[in-house]
Structure 1
Amino acid sequence: MREVADALAIVLKHAKPLKPEVTTLTADVLGQVLAADVVADADSPPFSKSLRDGFAVRAADCASPNAELRVIEEVPAGKMPTKSVGAGEASRIFTGAPIPDGADAIVMQEDTQTLEGGRVRITDPDVKPRQYVYARGTEMRAGEPVMTAGTVINPAALGVLANVGQTVATVFPRPRVGIIATGDELVEAGAELSAGQIRNSNGPMLTAQTVRGGGFPQYLGIAKDDRAVTKALIAKGLAESHVLLIAGGVSVGDFDLVPNVLKELGVSFHVQQVRMKPGKPLLFGTTETGVLVFGLPGNPVSSFVGFELFVRPALRILGGHEAPGPRKIRLPVTEGLAESNDRPTYKPAQLVPGETGWSVRPLPNSGAPDLAGLQPADALLVLPAGEARVDRGTLMEVVLL
């Protein structure tokens, strides 16, 4: 039986980044990772521009209180100035407009008074050179990298990429994840329940976790407790996926067909049990072609926890992320705990904001089948094996979801 850290190290050893590909830059690439540097094709901004509505002036002309200047033209955004600002002159200018030659400062319109005869009075008592001027190339210079390989694409990154004229980029693809649920007792959500049946919650849950983890899910259906059916579904998943998730059927019961079927299909096992609660019967293996195979417990909370601790980090590596996770911090608990566990235990928990910072609240949960009790969780509270007596305010390890 492997410790959690040892099992994760084995998983990450076998997870390799996927081959980068060129893709069109749309909102669909949010969360993906750049695989190549991107350089600016031009200075940004491509000209010095005004950060305020007001007047472009020479700061030296405004040294005297209430200086009066002659307005020579109006420069809106999107138009280039046609006149240089000389001594005693100003140009009416608007936010984002190019600053005319000769001007070295912007005076906000709130600090001016419009006079007759095309003149303006400057009431700002301390006009400084470069005030409210966004100089050419402040954001980026032509030919310089604006994003490096390893950058995770977020909404701001998409804006920057558009700003440098990029419509495509080289990124690590989302790993394809095949998902299979197992068991004669399972039916899909829309089916009527017969005696002894339960609805398949693992399929939709793992699909959603895969999306949140950066993968591209392909739900393959329910494998009934029949060797031929199970083998056909697993073979399909191995042929079409970078990662295959199988929920249930991975323990040592008479109807746990998955391990033997995987061996028949050429999967080598590296982990078969993990010292954790919930989720002890967790299987990890690989094929010669590099497919990562996870056999997750059938109980939904166990399956959920196993995904977060092992599958999501693997997906992140395949997707080009440098930090696989899981993300852990230490937070004070909001209430005392007294538990006895034979294995390190991962309890559903909620993060709680407060005046002095964040804390973590354990959630009531009746065990590995209690998916409803897991639903409000945004963290897992880690309790050590043995007698755990924790006072309120004690710092505890927390896995962020």
Structure 2
Amino acid sequence: MFSVKEAEAIVFNLVQPLDRQRDTEVVDLLSANSRILASPVSSQLDFPHWDNSAMDGYAVRYTDVQQASQEQPVSLEIVEDIPAGYQPQSTIQQGQAARIFTGAVMPTSADTVVMQERTRREDNRVLILAAPTKPQEFVRHRACYYKAGTQLLPAGVRLHGTEIAVLAAAQCTQVSVFRRLRVAIFSTGDELVTPDKPLQPGQIVDSNQYALAALVKQIGAEPLMLGIVPDKPDALEEAIAHAISNADVVLSSGGVSVGDYDYVERIIESLGGEIHIQAVAMKPGKPLTVATFTNQVIYFGLPGNPVSALVTFWRFVQPTIKKISGLAEGWQPKFVKARTRHQLRSDGKRETYFWGQLHLTDGVYEFQVAGGSQNSGNLINIAQTNALAVLLVGQTLISQGEEVQVLLV
């Protein structure tokens, strides 16, 4: 049985990102939300595109106004009004100024903007009542934000609203993104039924498949739901063979412990899979199978207990999917330190996870354990979970108010 850290190292070293040449597609900008950029992007535009004003005011020559004051204002002739989107027609000569608005193009020979609050207009002249603090004040120079031809966005970033805004401004209307990862999901067990069926004595509703599909979709991959597979070797072999032929990642739940009807591992080996992990020293989630196939498919046999399936997904599967999907940074599990609002106890024999909610209170993270039983079969109180508090091996008690390591989910 591997420790959690050992299992993490094995899993993350097994997987490689999608290929930047073979596993990409070109999409339009409106379809790029939440996709991962496959190639660096550059633009032929400078940002700003031209020297422009950062303030409503007057475009002037600094040498004309550097001595201006309330007591000795400088009077300048206004030769042009320049709104945003207008190409200036004048060259500013000595003793002249142009009325200018925020974002408007600077006229030739003007090098400074005096904000309108420091001026007083009188017909076609303006009085400068205070000198600028420096030359080129309130002027945004061409390419001071970005120079055309250089890298605008690197490969491996997930595109959200801010990145799409940048791409739109740069007139990059189509981008190369990694294809969506295909994740096959099925549940095993004769006792399972779908949510729409009436329950008979001893039966259990299959919640795992729905939870895992939602989580897979949430991180940008495409779930392929294969349904419930009975505890029969032939049916399991058919399901696993189909899954590894049609997906990049396979998630099964149940059938990976040592019961008489747990056939998953022997079928994986019969199909040519190599098993790397069979159990992890964690609670919940000990019975975890991880295998790979020659076609680079990675297989996770998750525990059947609902909470165990979710905890192992968050700890190992979620970062794996993010890494394979092409995300360059931020795919690793993210931990923070938090103050626990409740006492947390463990026997110290396995790395133990408590589910609950992380809150930010007066600048300090606080962890609130979910009410009710912290039992791997109790799915009800895992609703609204956004974090897992972790007690490491050897830790048996973290008292209320003390610091605990918390995994963000």
Deviations 1:112-160 (A, max 9, x none): 33322x2222334545322221100011112222223333433222222
Match 1:319 to one of 325, 343, 354: 325
Match 2:60 to one of 41, 57, 61: 57
For 2:74 and 2:203, the matched residues in 1 are separated by 86
Match 2:404 to one of 372, 380, 396: 396
Contact 2:3 2:280 in 1 (8 A): yes
**Counterpart AA for 2:384:** P
**Counterpart AA for 2:386:** D
Matched with 2:284 is 278
Contact 1:346 1:380 in 2 (8 A): yes
**Counterpart AA for 2:90:** K
Q: Shift of residue 32 of structure 1?
A: 4.0
SS at match of 2:209: helix
For 1:25 and 1:358, the matched residues in 2 are separated by 40
Matched with 1:361 is 368
Deviations 1:186-205 (A, max 9, x none): 22223333333332211121
**Counterpart AA for 2:68:** S
Q: Shift of residue 27 of structure 1?
A: 5.0
Q: In the alignment, does 2:138 pair up with 1:121?
A: no
**Counterpart AA for 1:5:** K
Deviations 1:259-296 (A, max 9, x none): 23323322221111111100111100011111000000
Matched with 2:43 is 40
SS at match of 2:323: helix
For 1:394 and 1:311, the matched residues in 2 are separated by 29
**Runs of 4+ residues over 6 Å off in structure 1:** none
Match 1:177 to one of 164, 174, 183: 183
What RMSD, in angstroms, separates the aligned Cα atoms of the two structures? 2.1
Deviations 1:323-351 (A, max 9, x none): 44111233232233333253111111321
Q: In the alignment, does 2:147 pair up with 1:144?
A: no
Q: Shift of residue 231 of structure 1?
A: 2.7
For 2:115 and 2:396, the matched residues in 1 are separated by 64
TM-score with structure 1 setting the length: 0.92
Question: Which 10-residue stretch deviates more, 197-206 or 23-32?
Answer: 23-32
**Counterpart AA for 1:49:** N
For 1:152 and 1:163, the matched residues in 2 are separated by 18
Contact 2:355 2:385 in 1 (8 A): yes
Matched with 1:3 is 3
Match 2:245 to one of 239, 243, 246: 239
For 2:395 and 2:14, the matched residues in 1 are separated by 35
Q: Shift of residue 302 of structure 1?
A: 0.3
**Counterpart AA for 2:110:** A
Question: Which 10-residue stretch deviates more, 20-29 or 339-348?
Answer: 20-29
Matched with 2:104 is 97
Contact 2:290 2:301 in 1 (8 A): yes
How many residue pairs were aligned?
Answer: 400
Q: In the alignment, does 2:12 pair up with 1:12?
A: yes
**Counterpart AA for 2:246:** E
Deviations 1:150-199 (A, max 9, x none): 33433222222233332233333332111112222222223333333332
For 1:223 and 1:214, the matched residues in 2 are separated by 26
Q: Percent identity?
A: 35
Contact 2:43 2:172 in 1 (8 A): no
Q: What 5-or-longer segments of structure 2 have no aligned partner?
A: none
For 1:151 and 1:184, the matched residues in 2 are separated by 42
Contact 1:251 1:281 in 2 (8 A): yes
For 2:253 and 2:31, the matched residues in 1 are separated by 28
SS at match of 1:34: coil
For 1:190 and 1:95, the matched residues in 2 are separated by 60
Matched with 1:135 is 141
**Counterpart AA for 1:273:** A
For 2:117 and 2:197, the matched residues in 1 are separated by 67
For 1:391 and 1:15, the matched residues in 2 are separated by 38
Question: Which 10-residue stretch deviates more, 78-87 or 249-258?
Answer: 249-258
Q: Shift of residue 25 of structure 1?
A: 4.2
Question: Which 10-residue stretch deviates more, 195-204 or 45-54?
Answer: 195-204
Q: Shift of residue 8 of structure 1?
A: 1.4
For 1:29 and 1:297, the matched residues in 2 are separated by 35
Match 1:88 to one of 64, 83, 95: 95
Q: Shift of residue 224 of structure 1?
A: 2.4
Match 1:373 to one of 376, 381, 398: 381
**Counterpart AA for 1:308:** W
Contact 1:40 1:140 in 2 (8 A): no
SS at match of 2:117: helix
